[in-house]
Structure 1
Amino acid sequence: MTMISTILVVLVAVEHVYILVLEMFMWTTPRARKAFGTSESFAEDSKSLAANQGLYNGFLAAGLLWGLVHPAGDIGHQIQIFFLGCVLVAAVYGGMTAKRSILFVQGLPALAALAFVLMA
């Protein structure tokens, strides 16, 4: 169980690093506009907001990785639970207010990781 939970937490962290890159550095590119369903003009007008949002995704990734490498395993476990919970709350909120696909793209991996972390 521990190996599976570790792999899933790493995958959620990597996903949030990818979102950070899209929002902070690629927001106005066709790739990011397609991923987030934005127009060229909206992307230009909102790039500073997106960069800020990307930074928060980076904090989620950093917290998950911190939980994995924390020298006290029980504390690391609690950190992982906390940050996976944060990802889930963000996914539910995003799914209800922005795009329903966020529930599946971000929420489902976080939910699976949380389940395995809790079982570990």
Structure 2
Amino acid sequence: MNTLNLIFLGLVALIHIYIVVLEMVLWTKPKGIKTFGLKSKEFAEETKVLAANQGLYNGFLAAGLIWSMISQKTDVAIFFLACVFVAGIYGAYSTKKPRIFFIQSIPALLGILSFLM
């Protein structure tokens, strides 16, 4: 892996670590409520278990990206970047929030392209 690959892997991993914190720790706090556009604190409380579950899955994505950096396995890196890319597409489509595509999918796609160059 070259420096550019590692930069993109690290960036995407950091984004997902931040998402983990938002979904598992800050979901019911003002930052989480604002970030995810939740309608109320009560709604956030009612859905915090679901959000924590989502956060756990985002943690697995971050762990896979970090593992690929440590192991220097290109196939593992591309696999996890592809997972993030697809998750971003689905997240943007299912929530009708295009910013998810730009936050998740675009950095992952750039990471994949860095491996193909």
Partner residue of 2:28?
28
Amino acid at match of 1:78: D
Quote the RMSD (CA, aligned, Å): 1.1
Partner residue of 1:96?
93
Amino acid at match of 1:23: E
In structure 2, C-alpha distance between the alignment counterparts of 1:101 and 1:88, rounded to whole Å: 13
In structure 1, C-alpha distance between the alignment counterparts of 2:115 and 2:32, rounded to whole Å: 31
Amino acid at match of 1:113: G
Identity %: 51
Partner residue of 1:56?
57
Give the TM-score of the pair, scaled to structure 2: 0.94
Amino acid at match of 2:100: I
Partner residue of 2:109?
111
The number of residues matched between the two structures is 115
In structure 2, C-alpha distance between the alignment counterparts of 1:90 and 1:80, rounded to whole Å: 15
Question: Per-residue CA shift, 1:44-98, capped at 9, x if unaligned?
Answer: 100000001000000000000101111xx4xx10000000000011000011111
Structure 1 gaps of 5+ residues are: none
In structure 2, C-alpha distance between the alignment counterparts of 1:86 and 1:61, rounded to whole Å: 11
In structure 2, C-alpha distance between the alignment counterparts of 1:2 and 1:42, rounded to whole Å: 45
Deviates more, 1:32-41 or 1:76-85: 32-41
The alpha carbon displacement at 1:113 in A equals 1.0
The alpha carbon displacement at 1:105 in A equals 1.0
In structure 2, C-alpha distance between the alignment counterparts of 1:96 and 1:47, rounded to whole Å: 22
Alignment of 1:74-89 (within 5 A): 76-89=73-86
In structure 2, C-alpha distance between the alignment counterparts of 1:15 and 1:117, rounded to whole Å: 19
Partner residue of 1:3?
3
The alpha carbon displacement at 1:118 in A equals 2.4
In structure 2, C-alpha distance between the alignment counterparts of 1:9 and 1:63, rounded to whole Å: 10
Runs ≥4 in structure 1, deviation > 2 angstroms?
none
SS class of match (1:46): helix
SS class of match (2:28): coil
In structure 1, C-alpha distance between the alignment counterparts of 2:25 and 2:60, rounded to whole Å: 16
